[in-house]
Amino acid sequence: MLDVYEGTYSSLLVNVAAVVAVSLAFGGMVDAGSGSRMLESPASMSVVAENVAMQTVLTVPTRQLSGDLRSMVPTAADGVRGTSSRGMSVGSSPVLPIVSPLVPSRADLGTAALGTTTGARLLSELTRLGMAGISEFLSAYPSKIDALLASPPAAATVSGWWRGLGNSDQTAWLSAAPRVVGNLEGIPVSERSVANLRYLSETDADIRQRLASGHSRGEQTGLTQELSILRQVKLAVAEGAGHAARYLMQLDPADGGRAVVVIGNPDTADFVTYLVPGMNYGVQEQLVNWSATAEALYAEQKRVLRERSDPTLPAKQVATIAWIGYETPDLFSVGGLDRAENGADQLERAINGLREVRGDDQPFLSIIGHSYGSVLSLVALARGTLSVDTFTMVGSPGSASQSASDLNVNGGEVFVGEADWDPAVNSGFFGSDPGASSYGAHRLGVSGNRDALSGKWLKASFGHNEYFTPGSESLHNMALIGTGYAKQVTGRSE
């Protein structure tokens, strides 16, 4: 055995301390006789060595960590007797005793452990730190947020974690990490919106401060773009003409931005509709307009329900979602399916997150895809892992699926609208033409007609961008479909 004392062979001490930190992070042990921290060898030492480089680069100096963070790090007195985390009992192989002065501090050990922790476990471990500890850790590891949100835990896992927190813990997360709370699927939208509005305000203030402090021209350009995106988000989330409540369901201002604005409360609504846009519908360019489109559909759905519902029963509630939750294509990228595939992942995650929040009280759920947004929606619905009650596509440039029956839509309620002078329809650019009778989707009228119930004249839509015009046959039919009155759609084909 080799005794190594503080102050001797400094380069060796650094390496040994690093190995100890990794060993402890993955289940260190204490010798019952000496009380010294022990490392298994030789077999498990090779496993530890593989992790040394990873663990040591993530170590944060002790002085940067709060007492809350230090409190969760094991000390020599906290050692586990018996069997190690790798299944080797104490004494089953030679060990190297390290005297206690060389054992890394509690803070360093905790940092090493959390530095490699991901997903749901990271959420749980950070919760133990409280508000100050969460803030401090995320400040030290900003990339951890990026990684967590890029590959988040399943919505069911997030939902269970969030519901299991007490009010004080939820408040700590909302205050210390609003970006995390606001962008994890499985948390109620009403609470995510509170977090995202806080994140919006904090990010806006931070960018303005950074711009004032001076940066290179390239950095200033990027910061100015993010500030412009945030400005559009503020406008979009402001109360609309109909004075319906608006929620900020998602916010990511980086790399062109992603944002989701909701009209009405999807946590409680009876009918929820996702509106998925296509080419050139980025946050900076179109979030305000797309939110206004969602409000126009919201207003038409409310009108449909008022005219057709029993007035003696409680009024049904609706929510429409202006979903720019993916990187929409531009003219140079619209010809491929990469963004549709990635967007389908995000849409599926979003809808399954809402379903997890609603539990046994599921809403009537619809998707409306416009242009490339229909391509994305078709990809998502063809996978078999996402289901909705209705799906409507307007201005669609084609479907990779050969038939409406390939889509996971309850009751086969798939609709297609094609306006005159729309260059995208009938092109079949991405595969089959969903407007062809052989495809099997129901046609919905967009050319102008009278509402069968009220007798009101509904305007025609022309070209690629008039499907959502207030007062149009197209918008009225989409409102009927999204509120369970699809049989009343004008111009419907069977």
| CATH, domain range 195-488 | 3.40.50.1820
Q: What is the pLDDT of residue 409?
A: 98
Q: Of 188, 194, 138, nearest to 171 (Cα)?
A: 194
Which tokens sit at 449?
A: 């007609």
Query: Kind of pairing, strands 29-30 and 457-458?
Result: unpaired
pLDDT (tens, 9 = 90+) of the chain, 494 residues, equals: 433 333 333 333 334 344 434 344 444 444 444 444 343 333 333 333 333 333 333 333 333 334 443 443 334 333 333 333 334 333 343 443 433 333 333 334 344 466 677 888 889 888 988 888 888 888 888 888 899 999 999 999 999 999 999 999 999 999 999 999 999 999 999 999 999 999 999 999 999 998 888 777 778 888 999 999 999 999 999 976 667 899 999 999 988 899 999 999 999 999 999 999 999 999 999 999 999 999 999 999 999 999 998 889 999 999 999 999 999 999 999 999 999 999 999 999 999 999 999 999 999 999 999 999 999 999 999 999 999 999 999 999 999 999 999 999 999 999 999 999 999 998 889 999 999 999 999 999 999 999 888 888 999 999 999 999 999 999 999 999 999 999 999 988 87
Q: What is the 3-state secondary structure (H, E, C) of 426-480?
A: CCCCCCECCCCHHHCCEECCCCCEECCCCCCEEECCECCCCCCCCCEHHHHHHHH
First to last CA, the chain: 84
Burial pattern 72-101, b for ≥16 Cβ within 10 A else e, equals bbbeeeebeeeebeeeeebeeeebbebeee
pTM for the whole thing? Answer: 0.77
- Domain range summary for the chain, segments of one domain joined by +: 10-113, 119-186, 195-488
pLDDT of residue 117: 76
